[in-house]
């Protein structure tokens, strides 16, 4: 428990966790892009995702400029794809394109949003381990710049659907083969995606990836654009990306040796880490770009090959830190534990329906009162949601002001990625809106669901 007494000034924000526009008034109220949290809560209700548009645009440009500059030094061009699975809406897809990014999608729904936003098909990618024929056909019809195939069976299916669409050797469908390199990186095992025992990609082991690349070359309707890899999520160490790139470049060289075909492009995926809590450090994007470009350039020189065009897919690292979830505090309940200590359960008006990550991955977050400073004396607290589930925990263990009370606003930062995109209607709770803020103005870019929305689907 920290020291007691009435604070004279609010504790400062840990800026690497919060949006760049976040600030505090002298009384401790959170301000986002010049807008007070209490005003945002009054105008849009809670829970609500509040997204800093300028922060998103700045992050997009940071990736675009850092990777373009770094790879230019080794003679390579770069495409940056915004990974839409982290969070995608029509407005966000437009922002990404306006800042020079392409859009990566992994379902027909995400593809529909990107197309609705006006993103040209050639600037969209589609991947996924179990695409339907309808999704593949729509991608072909839209002229997507790449279909990332995930299995031998899918190579044949894409070729068949390409023929059905009238494609031939002069109008080929560009494809990449997703490769599992065996590099294990990231946080929870469920978000590490390049080890062998999982559903994505074709393994390097036993020459399977090489065989898959050769299989694409055997189909005249398909253009082998390159190979794709993704090693995990929330990765903080650039060494994992460098090791993965080395394996992919070796595969590229081996394919050229055996077939004479040199892959024009490699997609090195994403998974770059951000800070969710003050003790974490977000990955240094310019340094990552320089290290990765240096590794790619060196390996290509060792192998005697030209440097391929490179693509990357940041998602969380663009959008994650842009967004704060505003909640209203409801029940505050001290609970005496078996050891005699007390934990105070602070219930908010959302929970696992707007942030499933703590329940799914054990993900950690921080929070603070958003409407005032609060007492300097703190209590051991657990922030929980309103759902009928004991695992409905937003933050398992946190120090909050001892005078936290019903009606207070609680702000949880770094919820831009996989909050709204993984949201559900568990217990028929309505999914929150996404409110974009910029230059002292706010606008809804995804509206709050209503009971009419829920009942419209229930045809009983």
Q: Known catalytic residues?
A: 388
Cα separation, 409 vs 373, whole angstroms: 11
CA–CA gap between residue 144 and residue 138 (Å, rounded): 9
Strand-pair category, 342-348 with 323-336:
antiparallel
Task: Tell me the two tokens of residue 80.
Answer: 């940056």
Q: b/e for 423-433, b at 16 or more Cβ within 10 A?
A: beebeebbbbb
38-64 b/e with 16+ CB inside 10 Å = b?
Answer: bebbeebbbbbbbbbbbbbbebbebbb
- Matching residue, tokens 């400062």: 12
Nearest 5°: the CA angle 282, 271, 174 is 145
Cis peptide bond upstream of 47, omega within 30: yes
């Amino acid at each position: 428990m920290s020291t007691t007494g009435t604070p004279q000034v609010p504790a400062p924000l840990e800026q690497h966790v919060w949006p760049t526009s976040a600030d505090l008034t002298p009384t401790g109220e959170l301000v986002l892009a010049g807008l007070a949290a209490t005003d945002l809560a009054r105008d849009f209700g809670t829970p609500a995702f509040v997204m800093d548009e300028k922060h998103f645009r700045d992050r997009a440009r940071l990736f675009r400029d850092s990777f373009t500059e770094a790879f230019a030094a080794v003679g390579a061009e770069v495409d940056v794809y915004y990974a839409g699975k982290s969070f995608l809406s029509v407005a966000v897809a437009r922002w990404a394109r306006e800042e020079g990014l392409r859009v990566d999608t992994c379902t027909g729904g995400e593809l529909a949003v990107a197309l609705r936003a006006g993103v040209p098909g050639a600037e969209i990618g589609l991947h996924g381990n179990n695409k339907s024929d309808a999704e593949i056909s729509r991608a072909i019809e839209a002229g997507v710049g790449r279909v990332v195939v995930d299995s031998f069976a899918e190579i044949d299916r894409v070729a068949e659907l390409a023929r059905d669409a009238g494609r031939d050797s002069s109008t080929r469908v560009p494809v990449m083969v997703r490769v599992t390199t065996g590099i294990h990186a990231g946080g929870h095992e469920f978000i590490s995606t390049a080890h062998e025992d999982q559903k994505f990609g074709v393994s390097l082991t036993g020459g399977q990836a090489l065989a898959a690349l050769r299989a694409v070359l055997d189909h005249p309707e398909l253009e082998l654009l390159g190979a794709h890899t993704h090693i995990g999520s929330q990765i903080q160490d650039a060494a994992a990306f460098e090791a993965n790139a080395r394996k992919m470049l070796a595969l590229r060289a081996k394919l050229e040796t055996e077939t004479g075909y040199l892959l024009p492009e490699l997609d090195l995926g994403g998974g770059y880490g951000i800070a969710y809590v003050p003790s974490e450090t977000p990955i240094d994007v310019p340094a990552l770009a320089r290290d990765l470009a240096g590794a790619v350039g060196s390996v290509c020189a060792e192998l005697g090959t030209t440097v391929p065009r490179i693509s990357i897919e940041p998602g969380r690292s663009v959008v994650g830190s842009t967004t704060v979830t505003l909640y209203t505090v409801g029940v505050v309940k001290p609970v005496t534990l078996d050891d005699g200590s007390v934990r105070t359960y602070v219930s908010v008006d959302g929970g696992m329906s707007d942030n499933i990550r703590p329940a799914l991955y054990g993900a950690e977050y921080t929070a603070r009162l958003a409407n005032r400073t609060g007492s300097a004396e703190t209590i051991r607290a657990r922030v929980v949601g309103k759902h009928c589930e004991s695992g409905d925990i937003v933050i398992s263990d946190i120090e909050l002001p001892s005078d936290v009370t019903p009606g207070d606003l609680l702000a949880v930062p770094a919820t831009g990625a996989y909050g709204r995109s993984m949201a559900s209607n568990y217990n028929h709770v309505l999914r929150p809106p996404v409110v974009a803020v910029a230059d002292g103005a706010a606008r809804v870019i995804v509206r709050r669901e209503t009971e009419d929305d829920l009942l419209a689907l229930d045809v009983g």
